[in-house]
Amino acid sequence: MAASFRLAVVATCLLVLASACQGLQVGYYKDTCPSVEAIVRDEVKKFVYKDAGIGAGLIRMLFHDCFVQGCDGSVLLDPTPANPQPEKLSPPNFPSLRGFDVIDAAKAAVEAACPGKVSCADIIAFAARDAAYFLSAFRVKINMPAGRLDGRVSSSSDALNNLPPPFFNVNQLITSFADKGLSAEDMVVLSGAHTIGRSHCSSFVSDRLNTPSDMDAGFANFLRGRCPANPSPSNDPTVNQDIVTPNALDNQYFKNVLDRKVLFTSDAALMTSPTTAQMVKDNAFIPGLWDGKFNAAFVKMAGIGVKTGFQGEIRRNCRLVN
């Protein structure tokens, strides 16, 4: 690793929570499992080339893992009699979060090559990074530090309390990211991930279509044609988030925000403060700006609340604590 890059990683980590990034290193598995990053990339490639949406799911999975108990694979834990309501079953994750099969496949392949060496939390971080690489047509190349351990705690209420909902206003969004050591700019830049993937109608119908909102009238009518007026668990279709380039990880999201063709109150909210509005414009119009900022903010997010030493373990099965 070049000395300058090592410095950049350390600097990024220092900016995040003091405990975050502790022990994280690019190339962490070079002695214990040198093939891990290639193995994960191959698995992600297979899934994403079949269904780009799975790549969107993996990128969102990293966000949902890291904001709840830190980046510790807690989102992967299945319900058990002792813990019937883990994060996975929380409303922000169920039924919308996808990509769990990719993590299972990657973990199985990694365990076959180097048993007991690689955490599930690191597999999520590598998989999300690789999804960004493939969906950006290889433009977003992230050196992902590793060395996270897997946590043993996963609770539905933690997910509800820590993940920002789509009806948040700009101050609520900024506070929610600040609580994790991320800046307002990180929040704006990372929201750019809404340039891929989908949303269930229930995430935006009530506050964006059934209530007067600033959404572009043509876009609102298009969505009314796709969504029931009152979505329910048995009738909750999905729509693409980015109507222009739905499967490309690019800066189109920021152009959509400016055109008022975005789904959530939280997306539109970026235009309601002068500083975040300026960031939206810069990311929309300055070529290449967003790619670099996304890269740095993604690594920063992937360092939130990392567990080391006795705080965690390397799970044998990502769905169960050892």
Contact positions toward ligand HEM, by CB under 6 A? 53, 56-57, 59-60, 63, 96, 98, 164-166, 168, 173, 187, 190-191, 193-194, 196-200, 203, 264, 266
Closest CA to 185 of 163, 170, 165: 170
Q: Which is nearer to ligand HEM, 33 or 252 (CB)?
A: 252
Active site residue 64: yes
Is 200 marked as a binding-site residue? Answer: no
Contact in structure between 71 and 125 (CB atoms under 8 Å): yes
Q: Measured between alpha carbons, how far is residue 217 from residues 157, 195, 224, 261 in Å?
A: 36, 20, 10, 9
Judged by CB, which is closer to ligand HEM: 168, or 222? 168
Catalytic residue among 64, 255, 293, 307: 64
70 is in an annotated binding site: yes
Output 26 or 196, the one with its CB closest to ligand HEM. Answer: 196
Q: Which amino acid is at 321?
A: V
Q: Is 179 annotated as a binding residue?
A: no
Closest distance of CB 265 from ligand HEM, Å: 8
Nearer to ligand HEM, 93 or 155 (CB): 93
Task: Say if residues 234 and 240 touch (Cβ distance below 8 Å).
Answer: no
Query: Coil, strand, or helix at residue 18?
Result: coil
Smallest separation, CB 118 to ligand HEM (Å) = 22
* CB-CB neighbours of 94 under 10 Å: 13
Tell me whether residue 81 is annotated as binding. no
Q: SS3 string of 206-259? A: HHHHCCCCCCCHHHHHHHHHHCCCCCECCECCEEECCCCCCCCCCCHHHHHHHC
Pairing of strands 238-240, 198-200: antiparallel
Q: How far is the CB of 211 from ligand HEM (least distance, A)?
A: 16
Binding site annotation covers 164? yes
Rounded to a whole number of angstroms, the minimum distance from the CB of residue 179 to ligand HEM is 12
Q: Which residue's beta carbon is nearest to the bound ligand HEM? A: 197
Binding residues for heme b: 194
Q: Give the residue numbers marked as catalytic.
A: 64
Binding residues for Ca(2+): 65, 68, 70, 72, 74, 87, 195, 242, 245, 250
